[in-house]
Amino acid sequence: MRKTKIIVTLGPATESAEMIGKLIDAGMNIARLNMSHAKHETVRQMVFDIRAAAHARNTFVGILMDTQGPAIRTGDLPVALDLKPGEIFTLTVRGEKSEERHSVDVNYDNLINDIHVDDVVLIDNGEIRMKVLSKSANHIKCEVLTPGKLGSRRHINLPGVKVSLPALTHKDLKDIELGLELEVDYIALSFVREAKDIRQLRAVVENAKRRPFIVAKIEDQQAVKNLNEIIQEADGIMVARGDLGIECPYEELPIIQRRTVKTCLRLGKPVIVATHMLESMINNPVPTRAEITDVANAVFEQADAIMLSGESSVGRYPVACVEVLNRIAQRIERSGGANYHERAELTKPGQKLVKSAVVMADELRAEAILVVTIRGHMARHASWMRPRYSPIFALCETEDIAETLTLAWGITPLVVPFSHKNPEETISCGIAALKEKGFLAKGNMAVVVTSMAIGEEMVEVVQMRKIL
């Protein structure tokens, strides 16, 4: 069984009910809704289709709503501009117009205050590079460093520049309101710069009927600088290598990825490696050798999840992309992993109890670890400890809890009848269901994490069981 989870971005190529079903069959664990492009009516339909397709297959698929964030973009141009090195180009703000032909307005008014002479401006995913020569009033005069064609509404990156943008825009808040209404499982916060950005989102979602997990996206140098505090504050982390690879020197990107995964596994937070994993498969039916190795590296580092973006949202081979990730992950998992979890900082008794269960399962080469979990905490602790051989089955009371476990490495959630007074009944139901699905068979060994009545008190215990 594959332990690394697969996140698939839905878009024009995959938003139909039929394609969603095919993606689940191929191995999709979480569907990502990219709010930079998705319209609300489309999102409503996709959420309905995702849950219907998962229910029809008797499985659980998580839903991740990814906010657009405070993106800085150029304005509209009547025609695309061909820029050549050495040319002067002017950026304007606050609706100011420039008499120069080579100029464009920018949607961020405070750019004039945040940017300084000699700062580098990257436009359109870094394809066009400029250097700031001077600034005055609402004009920023730049020198073009690399050739390129500049179209309308292109994304701007400002490496090393501390911008004073809000963590949540008006659009983000409206999108999050929709996400809470639809009870999505995860909300990814774009362009997180410090821990207080996460606290701001948490205040928005805290009183929701179903509080989604907050995934902080690491996308710029300021986030890397504040990485530890961001990881501690968030429920999960995404290494968003698209913007991150533009904002930071490219040779630093593998170091940042590895440091982020290591820190998440030290602190027990789920981590996603995202962007450009199979970029060539947007147009080609097979991956490059470099992409295969990149995916394998993320799996070897034991990231909780790997993610498809344009490959599945607009690509020609979305189902094949999921199949490629599935195939690579299964093979690499059999060869072992980096085991960064061995430096886990366990601070709570429940975490240490679960570690003892995982150690027992590793020693026994148990066919399964069963965790009876009410809110999902104990199951996530088991995932954190990265068991070497045993898949983790989380026995949940509700579908809500099961769906929030779809991101956790190695966990297969299962909803079973719950008995709070007699956990043994819950375990028996879970074992019966797993035998029926073919996950367990007579004679298998399972390690069980559950509660047990001792007198009038319920205590957490670890059991070793032979399946009858």
- Give the closest residue to 151 by CA, choosing from 79, 73, 91: 79
Question: Is position 73 annotated as part of the catalytic site?
Answer: yes
CB burial readout 86-116, b (16+ within 10 A) else e? eeebbbbbeeeebeeebbbbbebeebbeebe
Show the tokens assigned to 265.
């596994």
259 is catalytic: no
CA atoms within 13 A on the CB side of 190: 24
Main-chain dihedrals φ then ψ at residue 127, nearest 5 degrees? -70, -30
Specify whether 450 is catalytic. no
Bridging pattern class, strands 156-157 and 120-123: antiparallel
SS3 assignment, position 280: helix
HEC string for 391-420: CEEEEECCHHHHHCCCCCCCEEEEECCCCC
**Active-site hit among 32, 51, 135, 141:** 32
Q: Which residues of 353-381 are buried (b: 16+ CB within 10 A; e: fewer)?
A: bbbebbebbbeeebbbbbbbbeebebbbb
| Catalytic site residue from 129, 217, 355, 380 | 217
Residue 273: name the closest of 250, 256, 249 by CA: 256
DSSP string, 243-265: HHHHHS-GGGHHHHHHHHHHHHH
Task: Specify whether the CB–CB gap between 309 and 64 falls below 8 A.
Answer: no
Alpha helices in 38-142 (DSSP H): 40-56, 111-114
Tell me the residue type at 219.
E
> Both tokens of residue 253?
């990107």
**One-letter amino acid for residue 322 of the chain:** V
For 14-62, what is the HEC assignment? Answer: CCCHHHHHHHHHHCCCEEEEECCCCCHHHHHHHHHHHHHHHHHCCCCCE
Annotated active-site residue in 22, 73, 266, 435: 73
Which of 9, 92, 263, 275 is catalytic? The answer is: 275
| 101 is known as an active-site residue | no
What residues have CB less than 8 Å from 236, skipping those under 6 apart?
A: 186, 213, 214, 215, 216, 269, 270, 271, 272, 304, 407
- Annotated catalytic sites, by residue? 32, 73, 217, 275
